[in-house]
A and B are shown apart, each in its own frame.
Chain A
Amino acid sequence: MLKHEHRERTGKRGRGAGILPHLLAIGLLSFALPAPAAEAPPRIADIVTPAAVADVVHIQPFTLQEGYVFDWRQERPRVASGTLAVFKVAPALVYPRDAAEPVLYAGNQTAQRLNHGYESGYVVVLIPGDVDLSTEPVWFGAADLPEWVDADTIRAERAKAQQAGIAPFDKGRVRSVTHDRVQSSDLATLLRDHVAEIVIRYAPQERALADMWQLPIAQR
Chain B
Amino acid sequence: MNTTSAIRPRTASIVLAALAALWAPASWAAVTKTELAGRSLTQYPFFEYVKAFNQNTGVQVAIDPTRFPAIVGQTCDIYVVAAKTTTQWNTNPALTDITLGGAMTVTFSAPTIQVNTYAVTVPSELSGNAGTDLGVGYDVVLDCNQDGVLNGNDYIDGRNNESGFYVVHDTTAPGPLPVTRVTYTLSPPVGSTYGIPGGFLAEDLFYPTGIATMGTLPLIVISHGNGHSYNWYAHIGYHLASYGYIVMSHANNTGPGPFNASTTTLGHTDAFIDQAAAGVIAGGALVGHVDAGRIVWIGHSRGGEGVAISYDRLFDATYVPVNYVKANVKLISSMLPTDFNGPGIADPHDANYHLWTASGDEDVNGSAACNLCQTYHLHDRAIGHRQSTTIQGTGHTWFHDNGGYPWAVGPCSIGPTDALTHQIQLGHLLPLVKRYVDDNIPSIDFLTRQYESFRPIGVPTGNACIVVSHEYLDASVGAQKTVVIDDYQTQFATNVSSSGAAVTFNVTNLTEGLLDDNNSDFVWTPTDPFNGATQAGPGDTSRGVVFDWNGANRFYEWAVPIAEQDFTDNLLLSFRGAQGTRHPYTLAVLGDLTFDVTLRDAASVTSSINIGAFGGGLEQPYQRDGGWHNEMETIRIRLTDFLNNGSGIDLSNIVAIRLDVGPAHGSPEGRIVIDDLMLTNDRAVYDGGTNGDPHITTVDGTYYDFQGAGEFTLLQDGAMEVQVRQTAISGTSPVANAHTGLSSCVSVNTAVAARVGGHTVSYQPDLSGLPNPSGLQLRIDGVLTDINALQSVNLGSGGRVAKSPLGAGIDIDFPNGTSLSAIPQWWSGQNKWYLNLSVFKTPATEGIMGALSPGGWLPALPDGSSMGPRPAPTVQRHIDLNRTFADAWRITNATSLFDYAAGTSTASFTDKKWPPEPGEPCIAPDSPRVTPIRWEVAAHECRDLLDGGLRHSCTFDVAATGELSFVKAYQLSEKIDREATQTEVRIAQNPGSVTLVALVRMKKSGEPVTGGTAAGLAVGQVRFTVDGKDIEVPVGLDADGQATWKVELRAGAHTVSARFAPNSDARPLLPSGSAETAFVVR
Contact = CB atoms under 8 A, between A and B. Distances in A.
B226 interface: yes
Interface in B355-412: 363-365, 370, 372-373, 396, 403-407
Interface stretch (A35-43, A55-63, A157-165): A35-43
Interface stretch (B113-121, B187-195, B757-765, B1008-1016): B187-195
Interface string A110-122: 0011101000000
Nearest to B302: A98
Interface in A117-152: 145-148
Interface centre among B230, B259, B405 (most CB of A within 10 A): B405
A40 B396 CA distance: 13
B23 interface: no
A40 B197 CA distance: 32
B275 to A, nearest CB: 6
A147 B227 contact: no
B191 A97 contact: no
B629 to A, nearest CB: 15
Interface string A79-111: 000000000000000011111110000000000
A217 interface: yes
Contacts of B254: 98
B226 A97 contact: yes
A10 interface: no
Q: Is the interface of A mostly helix, strand, loop or mixed?
A: loop
A189 B260 contact: no
Contacts of B186: 217-218
Contact of A99 (B279, B281, B282, B370): B370
Interface stretch (A22-30, A46-54, A174-182, A208-216): A208-216
B197 A99 contact: no
A37 B404 CA distance: 5
B229 interface: yes
Contact of A113 (B185, B198, B255, B404): B255
Contact of B405 (A37, A113, A114): A37
Contacts of A219: 187, 280
A96 B338 contact: no
Contacts of A75: none
A98 B224 CA distance: 11
A2 interface: no
A71 B260 contact: yes
Contacts of B747: none
B280 A218 contact: yes
Given A98-B302, A114-B199, A215-B202, A71 B185 contact: no
B749 interface: no
Interface in A172-202: 185-191
A123 to B, nearest CB: 11
B372 A100 contact: yes
B318 to A, nearest CB: 15
Interface residues of A, number: 42
B404 A38 contact: yes
A39 B260 CA distance: 29
Interface in A61-78: 66, 68-69, 71-72
A14 B995 CA distance: 87
Q: Is the interface of B mostly helix, strand, loop or mixed?
A: loop
Interface string B194-234: 00011101110000000000000000000001111111000
A100 to B, nearest CB: 7
Interface centre among A66, A98, A216 (most CB of B within 10 A): A98
Nearest to A145: B257
B191 A188 contact: yes
B733 to A, nearest CB: 37
Contacts of A98: 225-227, 254, 301-302, 336, 338, 363-364, 396
B256 A189 contact: no
A185 B365 CA distance: 42
B255 A99 contact: no
Contacts of A97: 226-227, 363, 407
A12 interface: no
A145 B405 contact: no
B192 A148 contact: no
A120 to B, nearest CB: 14
B253 interface: yes
Nearest to B263: A71
A208 B186 CA distance: 17
A39 B230 CA distance: 23
A62 to B, nearest CB: 12
A97 to B, nearest CB: 5
Contacts of B256: 71-72, 145-147
A37 to B, nearest CB: 5
B918 interface: no
Contacts of B188: 66, 185-189
A188 B260 contact: no
B283 to A, nearest CB: 8
A106 to B, nearest CB: 15
Contacts of B301: 98
A21 B203 CA distance: 44
Interface in B269-305: 275, 278-282, 284, 301-302
Interface of A: 37-41, 66, 68-69, 71-72, 95-101, 112-114, 116, 145-148, 185-191, 208-209, 212-213, 215-220
Given A212-B230, A215-B183, A217-B187, 4 more contacts: A39-B405, A145-B340, A208-B229, A217-B185
7 contacts: A99-B370, A101-B226, A146-B256, A147-B257, A185-B188, A188-B198, A208-B229
Give 5 nearest A-B pairs by CB, closest first: A96-B227, A187-B198, A145-B257, A188-B198, A98-B301
